[in-house]
Amino acid sequence: MTFPFRKHIAEIAPYSTARDEFKGGDISVWLDANESPYNNGVNRYPDPHQKALKQVLSQLKGVATDRIFVGNGSDEAIDLCFRLFCEPGEDNVVAIAPSYGMYGVAAAVNHVELREVQLREDFSLPVEELLAVCDAHTRLLWVCSPNNPSSNAFPQEDLLRLARDFQGMLVVDEAYVDFSEKGTMLAHLDDFPRLIVLQTLSKAWGMAGLRLGLAFAHPVVSAAFAKIKYPYNVNAPTQAEVIRRLSSEPVAEHVAEIKAERRRLEEELPGIACVKKVYPSDANFLLVEVTDANAIYDALVAAGIIVRNRSRIVGCRGCLRLTVGTPAENKRLLDVLRTLS
């Protein structure tokens, strides 16, 4: 199996940390890394390989540790994909639109052409068009599912078709997968070596403040991520807190409540005068077309509620994106919306 890495990647020797060079033994005096010797809980460098954390994630996700990359949010993995696979000014990537803004930002920062393909009117995936805009220089195909901001997940058969027929790396961003009934692509990693699946602890897992994103990939690809990342890309408190919280956060309960509240909003919003359309959602937010997005956005802000105004985005005209909150927060949102026309 060959991967479309940039040519110089193979020649890079990664930074060797003090703890990489140390090969075991019963050490109690650490004078190898120029750290402070005074124990305040964070005076030592964190594990650059995040071994303990990856063990826990491996158990949780049913994916071998050598297929896991962890980084400073999904955003780090997104940037590393460009740096691994795309020659600036030469290669291109394809993404759906509307979708997550970071693909475009990372493309621009890395000086890589982004070819956007509009989703269909009903936000379904234009599989043939996506494949048709790819050429010999297309290294990455970005599909966010469930998609932000359209909120729908795409059928697995569409994603599998892209995995089969696209010659570069298919990146499926599953940030919202915990809220969807349509399943994950993780089970297909074995069948498709050029598949990368992104997940995050920022949404359903309630740890946006800790910054932990995951990429699941072929072991050769995750080794390449590890080779070019910052050595200490996930700090020690984050590694420890994530390990602790993965076994203690009531995530299943929270996800169940968010889905019940999403259903309640889906039922109640269409009866409100200023609401024109509520798109079906597989995520923890709703894309809602309203009578006057800017005016309603301002009115909500004046009432102390902030939502995301997506009305200027092609394909989302007149739409606000509403994150599902607690029952009390959602009630406040509905109460304020009912006063608007």
Ligand X SMILES: *Cc1c(COP(=O)(O)O)cnc(C)c1O
Residue number, 6 or 74, with CB nearest to ligand X: 74
What CA–CA distance (Å, rounded) separates 27 from 24?
8
Minimum distance, C-beta of residue 9 to ligand X, in the bound complex (Å): 23
Minimum distance, C-beta of residue 235 to ligand X, in the bound complex (Å): 15
What CA–CA distance (Å, rounded) separates 84 from 164?
21
CA dihedral 190, 217, 212, 205 (to 10 degrees): -20
Residue number, 77 or 226, with CB nearest to ligand X: 77
Residues 148 and 75: beta-carbon distance below 8 Å: no
Check binding of 151 to ligand X (CB under 6 A): no
Residue number, 175 or 322, with CB nearest to ligand X: 175
Residue number, 75 or 282, with CB nearest to ligand X: 75
Minimum distance, C-beta of residue 148 to ligand X, in the bound complex (Å): 4
Site for ligand X in 101-140 (CB under 6 A): none
**Residues binding ligand X: what is the number (CB under 6 A)?**
13
**Whose CA is closest to 200, among 290, 111, 100?**
100
Which residue from 173, 178, 261, 282 is in contact with ligand X, where contact means CB under 6 A? 173
Strands (E) in 42-128, as ranges, are: 68-71, 92-97, 113-118
Site for ligand X in 177-236 (CB under 6 A): 200, 202-203, 208, 213
Minimum distance, C-beta of residue 44 to ligand X, in the bound complex (Å): 26
**Strand-pair category, 92-97 with 113-118:** parallel
Residue 215, token pair as written in the block: 């990429």
Contacts of 121 (CB under 8 A, 6+ apart): none
Site for ligand X in 56-95 (CB under 6 A): 73-75
Residue number, 48 or 213, with CB nearest to ligand X: 213
Write the single-letter amino acid at 325.
G
Minimum distance, C-beta of residue 198 to ligand X, in the bound complex (Å): 7
- The interaxial angle of helices 73-85 and 101-109, nearest 10 deg, is 40
Residue 327, CA distances (Å) to 251, 253, 256, 264 in order: 16, 14, 12, 9
Which residue from 82, 100, 123, 225 is in contact with ligand X, where contact means CB under 6 A? 100
DSSP 272-330: STTEEEE---SSSEEEEEES-HHHHHHHHHHTT---EE-TTSTT-TTEEEEE---HHHH
Residue number, 76 or 337, with CB nearest to ligand X: 76
Residue number, 100 or 179, with CB nearest to ligand X: 100
Minimum distance, C-beta of residue 253 to ligand X, in the bound complex (Å): 21
Minimum distance, C-beta of residue 202 to ligand X, in the bound complex (Å): 3
Residue number, 202 or 281, with CB nearest to ligand X: 202
What CA–CA distance (Å, rounded) separates 92 from 85?
10
Check binding of 175 to ligand X (CB under 6 A): yes
Site for ligand X in 238-297 (CB under 6 A): none
Which residue from 148, 152, 184, 309 is in contact with ligand X, where contact means CB under 6 A? 148
**Strand-pair category, 138-144 with 92-97:** parallel
Residues 282 and 250: beta-carbon distance below 8 Å: no
Check binding of 168 to ligand X (CB under 6 A): no
Minimum distance, C-beta of residue 153 to ligand X, in the bound complex (Å): 12
What is the binding site for ligand X (CB under 6 A)?
A: 73-75, 100, 144, 148, 173, 175, 200, 202-203, 208, 213
